[in-house]
């Protein structure tokens, strides 16, 4: 009997410790609240390495799991930034004129990423800036660039179509948005900002513009053509920013980007004397592959890149509840209509994401047929149709927007209070960017995210996300090179045939 008890004692102790840990955790509000409460997860709750981690979504591949759900309230993985990151703009080296501009806009202290990114760029480093969505990354690179321009401009011979800094984006919508933010600052500093997007590139080549600009905000395609034809000059460019760099480093863009950036004199570290020597590059995104593509070395020494980041990247938004709802595909339209009508009754602007253009169009038509005014944006839409549609949503003329991932990257939509993923994204990076359209700096309170889960691949990704939260780890496979992931999946499927 003594021998039996000695063998059972470790097991009993382990069970008691696990029971005590769960009971202590349950005194707090759950981080994961489930329809089946036995799967709730609490702050501080841990799991034994000898037992499997229970998932609310474990059985979601089964047909009987429909209408099951769990809600993530905050993130057990969230890390609190140290107080040192709440330094003043003056302490991190920003000049008085820019401090006054920020004060006029009601901004008195830098965010965490601004506290880290501004000094790095001011000191001439090639910088990789990665931080969660909606935390102020745009100002983190615009402010030090404007400060450099103010310092350098008197010593540089002004020439038309020859900017001192260039911000390159993957989409016209993002370029327009960044251009507006930059223009809002520049007009107070007597600096010139030009926004250049595609659509009339051939016309510009036939009838070249003659402009004096200090900062150019542009899309990759339009700028590449006008530099190649010599209409825009690169000799005075001392800053190049790749906004949404993970997309620009994707296989879809990297060859064109590398060929363009080879034309710039990018240095290991820029001498910030007046006038400056060389050009520095800044890569900015909310998600970034852990290993940058080899093609990056074609235009910048990877060893020269100084990484600045926050501790909450590649994690769920810690302040926005996110509901994961298992549905049958036939039940999605009715559930969508119910949610959107509730949003309109509460005057909550909502963005609805789909994976394909056809679904995006269907969602828009379905809602309009049910007396819900809805506009849609997708990548295949003709430029004349797409122009201004996002502005209609952002300005409040329309409160329901159906879109594909064309609207998920970088767009500042502080009106948005509800994100509905009608199709759950197939890649973690896309999920992070979609969710980042709400809960941003300046967004209203009570933002929320609702995810419809209908297909086996969607269930598999949700299970990985839920597991990462329970394990206190980063979200799985945050790799933004979507084209390469698709190719890898195709190769894998072909190998199984």
The encoded tokens of residue 478 equal 């945050």
**Residue of 135 and 89 predicted with greater confidence:** 89
398-442 pLDDT, tens digit per residue, is 999 999 988 877 566 788 999 999 999 988 888 888 988 888 777
The answer on pLDDT for 39 being more than 70 is yes
Report strand pairing: 126-130 vs 305-309. Answer: parallel
pLDDT given at position 91: 94
Q: Provide the angle, in degrees to the nearest 10, between the axes of the packed helices 332-345 and 357-369.
A: 60
Calpha distance 196→209 (Å, rounded):
11
What's the gap between Cα 441 and its chain centre?
Answer: 13
Write out the H or E segment, with its range, that includes residue 493.
Answer: helix 482-496
Read off the pLDDT of residues 200-240 as tens digits, 9 standing for 90 and up: 666 777 677 778 999 999 999 999 999 999 999 999 999 99
- What contacts 263, CB < 8 A, 6 or more positions away? 227, 234
Residue bearing the bigger pLDDT, 177 or 365: 365
Mean pLDDT of 271-286: 88
pLDDT score, position 74: 65
185 CA to centre of own chain: 23
CA atoms within 13 A on the CB side of 490: 6
Domains of the chain: 22-77+315-492 (3.40.50.300), 83-309 (3.40.50.300)
User: What's the CA gap between 491 and 497, in Å, rounded?
Assistant: 10
Q: What is the residue-wise DSSP string for 331-375? A: GHHHHHHHHHHHHHHTT--EEEE-SSHHHHHHHHHHHHHTT---E
Residues 383, 244: Cα–Cα separation, whole Å: 21
pLDDT, tens digit, 9 for 90 and up, residues 111-151 = 999 999 999 999 999 999 998 877 889 999 999 999 999 99
Bridging pattern class, strands 322-326 and 69-72:
antiparallel
Residue 329: count of CB within 10 angstroms of its CB: 10
Rounded Cα distance between 249 and 450, Å, is 30
Integer CA distances (angstroms), 101 to 137, 185, 464, in order: 17, 7, 44
- 394, 348, 344, 408: which is closest to 370 by C-alpha? 344
DSSP 270: -
Q: Which of 169, 450, 468 is nearest to 316 (CA)?
A: 468
Q: Given its phi and psi angles, is residue 388 left (phi above 0), alpha (psi -120 to 50 degrees) or beta?
A: left
Mean pLDDT of 303-319: 81
Strands 30-34 and 41-42: antiparallel
**Closest to 117 in 3D by CA, of 301, 4, 241:** 241
Q: Is the pLDDT of residue 17 over 50?
A: no
Report the pLDDT value the prediction gives residue 288, as an integer from 0 to 100.
76
Tokens of 109: 């202290």
β partners of residue 309: 130
Q: Is the pLDDT of residue 18 over 50?
A: no
Nearest to residue 336, comparing CAs of 321, 352, 357, 347? 352
With contact defined as beta carbons under 8 Å apart, do 376 and 361 qualify? yes
């Amino acid at each position: 009997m003594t021998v039996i008890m000695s063998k059972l004692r470790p097991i009993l102790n382990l069970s008691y410790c696990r029971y005590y840990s769960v009971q202590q955790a349950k005194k707090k509000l759950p981080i994961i609240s489930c329809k089946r409460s036995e799967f709730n997860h609490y702050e501080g709750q841990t799991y034994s390495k000898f037992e499997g981690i229970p998932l609310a979504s474990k059985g979601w591949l089964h047909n009987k799991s429909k209408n099951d759900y769990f809600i993530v309230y905050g993130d057990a993985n969230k890390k609190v930034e140290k107080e040192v990151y709440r330094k003043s703009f003056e302490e991190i080296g920003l000049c008085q004129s820019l401090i006054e501009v920020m004060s006029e806009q009601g901004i008195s202290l830098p965010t965490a990423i601004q506290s880290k990114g501004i000094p790095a760029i001011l000191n001439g480093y090639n910088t990789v800036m990665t931080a969660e969505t909606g935390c102020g990354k745009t100002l983190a690179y615009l402010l030090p660039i404007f400060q450099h321009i103010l310092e350098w401009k008197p010593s540089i011979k002004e020439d038309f179509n020859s900017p001192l800094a260039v911000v390159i984006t993957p989409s016209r919508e993002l370029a327009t948005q960044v251009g507006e933010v930059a223009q809002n600052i520049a007009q107070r500093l007597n600096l010139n900002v030009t926004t250049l997007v595609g659509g009339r590139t051939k016309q510009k080549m036939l009838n070249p513009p003659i402009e004096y600009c200090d900062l150019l905000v542009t899309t990759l395609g339009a700028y590449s053509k006008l530099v190649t034809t010599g209409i825009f000059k690169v000799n005075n460019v001392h800053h190049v920013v790749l906004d949404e760099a993970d997309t620009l480093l994707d296989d879809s863009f990297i060859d064109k980007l590398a060929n363009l950036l080879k034309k710039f004199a990018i240095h290991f570290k820029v001498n910030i004397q007046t006038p400056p020597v060389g050009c520095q590059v800044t890569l900015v995104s909310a998600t970034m592959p852990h290993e940058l593509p080899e093609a990056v070395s074609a235009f910048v020494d990877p060893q020269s890149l100084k990484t600045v980041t926050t501790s909450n990247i590649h994690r769920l938004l810690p302040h926005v509840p996110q509901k994961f709802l298992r549905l049958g595909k036939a039940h999605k339209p009715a559930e969508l209509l119910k949610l959107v009508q509730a949003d309109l009754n509460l005057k909550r602007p909502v963005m609805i994401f789909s994976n394909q253009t056809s679904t995006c169009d269907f969602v828009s038509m379905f809602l309009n047929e049910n007396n819900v005014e809805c506009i849609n944006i997708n990548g295949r839409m003709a430029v004349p149709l797409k122009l201004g549609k996002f502005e209609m949503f952002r300005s409040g003329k329309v409160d329901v927007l159906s879109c594909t991932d064309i609207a998920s990257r970088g767009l500042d939509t502080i009106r948005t209070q509800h994100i509905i993923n009608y199709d759950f994204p197939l890649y973690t990076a896309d999920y992070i960017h979609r969710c980042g359209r709400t809960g941003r700096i300046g967004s209203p309170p009570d933002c929320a995210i609702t995810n419809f889960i209908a297909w086996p691949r969607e269930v598999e990704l949700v299970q990985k996300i839920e597991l990462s939260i329970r394990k206190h780890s980063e979200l799985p496979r945050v790799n933004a090179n979507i084209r390469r992931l698709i190719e890898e999946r195709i190769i894998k499927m072909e190998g199984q045939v």
